[in-house]
Amino acid sequence: MGSVASCSCGSEKKQEKERLLRANDRSYNLSFHYAKNAIKTSKYNVFTFLPLNLFEQFTRLANAYFLFLLVLQLIPQISSVPWFTTAVPLLAVLAITAVKDANDDINRHKCDKQVNNRLVNVLVDGHLKKEKWMNVQVGDIVKLESNHFVTADLLLLSSSEPLNLVYVETAELDGETNLKVKQALTVTGEMGDNIEALSTFRGEVRCEPPNNRLDKFKGNLTINGQTYGLDNDKVLLRGCTLRNTEWCFGLVIFGGPDTKLMQNSGKSTFKRTSVDHLMNVLVLCIFGILATLCAIMTIGHSLWEDKEGSVFTVFLPRVPDVDVPLSSFYSFWSYVIVLNTLVPISLYVSVEMIRLGNSFYIDWDRKMYYPKNDTPAQARTTTLNEELGQIKYIFSDKTGTLTQNIMTFNKCSINGKNYGELFDFSGQRVEITEKTQRVDFSWNQLADPNFIFHDYSLLETVKEGNPEARAFFRLLALCHTVMPEEKKEGELNYQAQSPDEGALVTAARNFGFVFRSRTPETITIMEMGRKVTCELLAVLDFNNVRKRMSVIVRSPEGKMTLYCKGADTIIYERLHPSCKKLMDVTTGHLNEYAGDGLRTLVLAYKDLEESYMDGWRQRHHEASTAMEGQEEMLNELYEEIEKDMTLLGATAVEDKLQDGVPQTIEQLAKADIKIWVLTGDKQETAENIGYSCNMLREEMKDVFIVAANTAEGVKEELQNARRKMCPEAAEEPSVIKARAGLFWLQKTETVRDEKVDGDYGLIINGHSLAFALEKDLELELLRTACMCQTVICCRVTPLQKAQVVQLVKKYKQAVTLAIGDGANDVSMIKAAHIGVGISGQEGMQAVLSSDFSFAQFRYLQRLLLVHGRWSYLRMCKFLRYFFYKNFTYTLVHFWYAFFCGFSAQTVYDDWFITLYNTVYTATPVLALGLFDQDVNDRWSFQYPQLYSPGQLNMYFSKKAFVRCMMHSCYSSLILFFIPWAAMHDTVRDDGKDIADYQSFALLAQTCLLVLVSAQVCLDTYYWTALNQLFVWGSLAVYFAVTFTMYSNGMFFIFTSVFPLIGAARNSLSQPNMWLTIFLTSLLCVLPVLAHRFIFMQIRPTITDKVKYKAQMEGQPAPARRLPRPRRISTRRSGYAFSHSQGYGVLVTSKRFLRLKSRSALFTKTDTALVENQPQYYRTITEEPEKSQG
């Protein structure tokens, strides 16, 4: 839909320069005529619907064209066909679209009404009064309560929280699910919830005019002559939700359409499919063909008029004042009218209907329905279906898309003993399933009920008092940066910055080492039910180089210990030599974990001497306050203390993949779809996931890692990779420049795919990617990346995600799909041809901007391999048939012109022309577009290769169109000349005329209809009862309507409207009529059959083969389920921390703790185990990350 109506609000007054308003002073504020808080997303009302909607519809080229034709038909000199032949189909098309638009608008009205009628407390005349949202005005003071939606853009005045803070969730605005803090001015905050003070408040606000910048606000507030500056921290935007705040008061600054939310909405870009583009080009071609045909007709006409017409004037005098050139000119337009059906009027409507139908199939598919959270798949955009069958590149997010973003503490190795696996009596490993008995943690009142562990022996070891095991969990409980939240006694909630940490701390909690609370100086834990408060002496923070974090604590007994956890390689270097033996055993375990795709961490500790510690702390203090070289000094200190540690063990956390991810990726790879993972994660994590979801495989020839820090370095690494994969490839990329699109206005640049032997993988990190995406390197990146089977980009920003997609879109001319779940994927989802959102999770932003959504990554294969493929197949068949049917139909007029003096005489009856596209041939082709399938879904899965014709544009292209036109030419020649030859000098069986115009028209149109019905049957693979019904029904309707229209009764009622009275009765009783119909149809159908059969024998396509196999075997053999092979790799999974540096400082900063002491810093989730949140680009980091490894 266009945005015609949305401009209505802005135009009524001149641009606002500045906004002035005064609290509690309605009359003053009203003088500015600011928009009220009512919103209107609907486009029409009862009165404007018809004119506006019609106007909108006629802005579409096709409709405008037919309107133009209608006008032409009203010109008597030109009109070759009565006006209704165009008017009836046009009205039908307009009506269908109007009904759809009306329905959409009614829904929007309902939605608006619901929002506008929400209630909010407004301060009116010193009292709080419930008001509807739409009645709230600029300058009003409203009271919001916890979990309320913010009514309008408000200036925060006061809140229930200390320091006048409020917490808001902005998911609806920007998709970020973490809470944001807003703080009111102290002056206004003092009013608290004192109604009296608030109602006498007369502050004046002067601020910027309405705009769509979410992150900026400029203005000031004047109270009693004092002026205070206002910034974004002091405004609550509409669309946010108030959280963890009992109440707050706000002053309405922008209402309704002026709010930043509304200013941001309604500017969605329309995606069009490649078939759409092709269709536009073809329609343009058809206009060209039409013009050519009409020009030929015009020449014919002038020749005829010159030679024949001039002497035939005895019986057909010329129209006065119309000489040959003028009449030729008229004839051009007359033929435009006659041949207009080359441009099929119902094409666009039918295409929309088919897409809509195919979208419904997606919504209805039970195999894409996720019962766990009751989420069906959803086709949010209903106009992109066939593009799903042409995907060449998939860009996937990792967290939440490939993985569930659930970390589970899975295994651990403590003091050389491996826990977490189950063995039966014979020592065989038992596979852990849902039904396996879980360890019972009920003895521990603080345990997290969602924590699942299966190995009893670990708990027993801990209970027995094994010192290493206890130290192990003590470490996990102490060494982290998690924030606890305990709203009620015993109801602990952890807010971890990375889910890994959450998982580890939760594990410790369940095994009896409960992390309870922290202050900047202390950490309190419950150690097997005993409360222990340790003094936190230092946090040796994590960063990318260190790949470890440590804490130094002093136990109540006064013992000082350093606890350290980190990547195995790093920790191993810093262990005391005495641990050698333990290290070997643990290494074995680590390899095992890595082989299972688990994320590992090694834990170590070191007891510290009081005396040494004093000195160290002193130096630490100096270093942290140093003005210069602070970082180096700290690093040195850390390095010094973190050595000669004692190994405790290792943990293994599972980054749980979603179900069926490896299988899905394998299937998609078989369908020749390239999958690129774009993740914000660290390289190691991403690589690890790459292995566990089968994207990177052991048998790959090489996996290149591009991690250079300079442009030259990146270039060299990319080139080296390329040379290794394809030594013979040219050094310079060959860019093929071409023009395409409407009027060939669009310039395209294409980089060809280059053939590579064997599979390769490419991993590139964010830093390198930034260089690689520069203008001079992007082609190098593209070439190298496209040679690889798998590409993983790590540490990617949302913007880079979109850039990568754009890059492939630009140079590959291939259809791309982006799939993701979070707000950081939005840019990529919008950039790709098709965006898919993972629904049913917390953030809805990705889903809201996506075209399709479903709950699980694995549904992607069904979406593409089944729905996409079918949609593409259907759409292409539909288009081919549709063009065929209209060309065949129209070209008969062309041939007839040579026999009727180029007089624009139609072959068919006017009513046939009117009803041909809208009634007689409308339904069978719709059935083709809605029900056809070459092979069923199970075979589609069995042979993902069936997907490739779509990627190669094989079913519908310019070539196919030309073929289709040639076929039409042949058919129309047959359709005209066979009846001509059969009728031109014969008579009926009672000696009367048969070669009269009406009989001939009837014969030609009957032949045509029988033929196109036969052709649609030929094109249908999948004959459902409905297909049959529509085909036979259409024929039956044709005969019924024809006999009715040509009946006596109709002639009595509308004398001159149906002049073909009796033609049907008189002609269709003639055997040679039927013999001709039969002959014509078979003559058109048999060559097609023979051609198809022979080509199927000589060059069978994959589809032919699978169809044949399906015919022979019925259902495919059930897919073999190979257990996932254990990797025998030495590749150790990396450091598991997926969080960023600088967090330790926050934890120990007093300011931080004071500020956030009560409220949630991060989003809460129901499962404490899972801290389900975006891991990147949060606003928390005080220091931006400086370097990456």
Partner 1 sequence: MVKEKKKSPDRPDNTAFTQQRLPAWQPILSAGIVIPGFVLIGLAFIGIGVGLFITSRDIQVLEMDYTGTEASSDCNKCAITNTKNCMCSLDFNISTLFKGPVFFYYGLTNYFQNHRRYGVSRDDSQLYGDLTNFKDPSTDCKPYRVDSNGKPIVPCGAVANSMFNDTFKLYQNVNGQRNLVPFDGKGIAWWTDYNVKFRNPSVEPLKNAFNDTVKPLFWTRAVYELDFSDPSNNGFLNQDFLVWMRRAALPNFRKLYRRITEGDYKEGLPAGNYTLEISYNYPVLRFDGRKKVVFSNVSWMGGKNDFLGIAYLVIGSLCVVMSMVMLIVYAKFKFPEDN
Binding to partner 1 by residue 321, rule CB under 8 A?
Answer: no
Binding to partner 1 by residue 1071, rule CB under 8 A?
Answer: yes
Query: For the sheet containing 513-518, what is the strand order?
Result: 417-419, 403-414, 646-657, 599-608, 560-566, 548-554, 530-540, 522-527, 513-518
- Which of 56-64, 369-377, 382-390, 747-755 is the region at the interface with partner 1 (rule: CB under 8 A)? 369-377
Q: Which residues of 174-209 are buried (b: 16+ CB within 10 A; e: fewer)?
A: bbbbbbbbbbbbebbbebbeebeebbebebbbebbe
- Which of 154-162, 317-325, 429-437, 740-748 is the region at the interface with partner 1 (rule: CB under 8 A)? 317-325
Query: Is the distance from CB of 671 to CB of 865 less than 8 angstroms?
Result: yes
Binding to partner 1 by residue 1092, rule CB under 8 A?
Answer: yes
Binding to partner 1 by residue 988, rule CB under 8 A?
Answer: yes
CB closer to partner 1, 27 vs 1056: 1056
Binding to partner 1 by residue 365, rule CB under 8 A?
Answer: yes
The DSSP secondary-structure symbol of 675 reads E
Asked whether the CA dihedral 312, 313, 318, 323 is positive or negative, the reply is positive
Binding to partner 1 by residue 987, rule CB under 8 A?
Answer: yes
**Contacting partner 1 (CB under 8 A), which of 521, 614, 774, 989?**
989
CA distance 593 to 651: 9
Binding to partner 1 by residue 1032, rule CB under 8 A?
Answer: no
- Which of 64-72, 340-348, 603-611, 1074-1082 is the region at the interface with partner 1 (rule: CB under 8 A)? 1074-1082
For residue 158, give the 3-state DSSP assignment.
strand
Least separation, in Å, of the C-beta of 385 and partner 1?
Answer: 13
For residue 1007, give the 3-state DSSP assignment.
helix
Least separation, in Å, of the C-beta of 374 and partner 1?
Answer: 5
CB closer to partner 1, 523 vs 855: 855
Residues 923-942 that bind partner 1 (CB under 8 A): 931, 933, 936-937
Residues in contact with partner 1, counted by CB under 8 A, come to a total of 100
Residues 68-107 that bind partner 1 (CB under 8 A): 80
Least separation, in Å, of the C-beta of 301 and partner 1?
Answer: 11
Residues 945-984 that bind partner 1 (CB under 8 A): 978, 980-984
CB closer to partner 1, 295 vs 1094: 1094
Dump the DSSP string for 456-506: HHHHHHHHHT-HHHHHHHHHHHHSS--EEEESSTT-EEEE-SSHHHHHHHH
Binding to partner 1 by residue 854, rule CB under 8 A?
Answer: no
The DSSP secondary-structure symbol of 676 reads E
CA distance 46 to 41: 15
Phi, psi angle pair for 1167, to nearest 5°: -90, 120
Binding to partner 1 by residue 300, rule CB under 8 A?
Answer: no
Binding to partner 1 by residue 315, rule CB under 8 A?
Answer: yes
Catalytic residue among 174, 397, 821, 934: 397
Of 362, 394, 365, nearest to 381 by C-alpha is: 362
CA–chain centroid gap for 679, Å, is 16
Least separation, in Å, of the C-beta of 895 and partner 1?
Answer: 12
The DSSP secondary-structure symbol of 944 reads G
Query: Is the distance from CB of 906 to CB of 80 less than 8 angstroms?
Result: yes
CB closer to partner 1, 93 vs 1106: 1106
Binding to partner 1 by residue 991, rule CB under 8 A?
Answer: yes
Binding to partner 1 by residue 1021, rule CB under 8 A?
Answer: yes
Burial class, 724, CB count within 10 angstroms (exposed 0-12 / middle 13-18 / buried 19+) = middle
Binding to partner 1 by residue 993, rule CB under 8 A?
Answer: yes
CA distance 70 to 91: 11
CB closer to partner 1, 1066 vs 1175: 1066
Of 512, 539, 507, 511, nearest to 523 by C-alpha is: 539
Residues 1096-1125 that bind partner 1 (CB under 8 A): 1096-1098, 1100, 1102, 1104-1105, 1107-1111
CA distance 188 to 366: 55
Site string (997-1016) toward partner 1, x via CB under 8 A = xxxxx---------------
> 953 is written with which tokens?
């544009």
Give residues with Cβ within 8 angstroms of 79, minimum separation 6. Answer: 72, 73, 334, 337
CB closer to partner 1, 814 vs 1003: 1003
Least separation, in Å, of the C-beta of 815 and partner 1?
Answer: 23
Query: Is the distance from CB of 474 to CB of 1137 less than 8 angstroms?
Result: no
CB closer to partner 1, 480 vs 1107: 1107
CB closer to partner 1, 15 vs 1097: 1097
**Contacting partner 1 (CB under 8 A), which of 806, 1072, 1165, 1181?**
1072
Site string (703-732) toward partner 1, x via CB under 8 A = ------------------------------
Binding to partner 1 by residue 1053, rule CB under 8 A?
Answer: no
> 721 is written with which tokens?
């990779």
Within 10 Å of residue 311's Cβ, how many Cβ atoms? 8
Only one residue has tokens 């609370």, namely 517
CA distance 365 to 862: 10
**Residue 397 a catalytic site member:** yes
Site string (873-912) toward partner 1, x via CB under 8 A = --------------------------xxx-xxx-------
CB closer to partner 1, 288 vs 1059: 1059
Least separation, in Å, of the C-beta of 1020 and partner 1?
Answer: 9
Residues 598-627 that bind partner 1 (CB under 8 A): none
Least separation, in Å, of the C-beta of 68 and partner 1?
Answer: 21
CB closer to partner 1, 605 vs 889: 889
- The helix (H) or strand (E) run that includes residue 199 is helix 195-199
Dump the DSSP string for 9-45: TTTTSPPP--EEEETT-HHHHHTTT---S--------
- Which of 20-28, 467-475, 798-806, 1087-1095 is the region at the interface with partner 1 (rule: CB under 8 A)? 1087-1095
> 277 is written with which tokens?
């583009």
Catalytic residues: 397
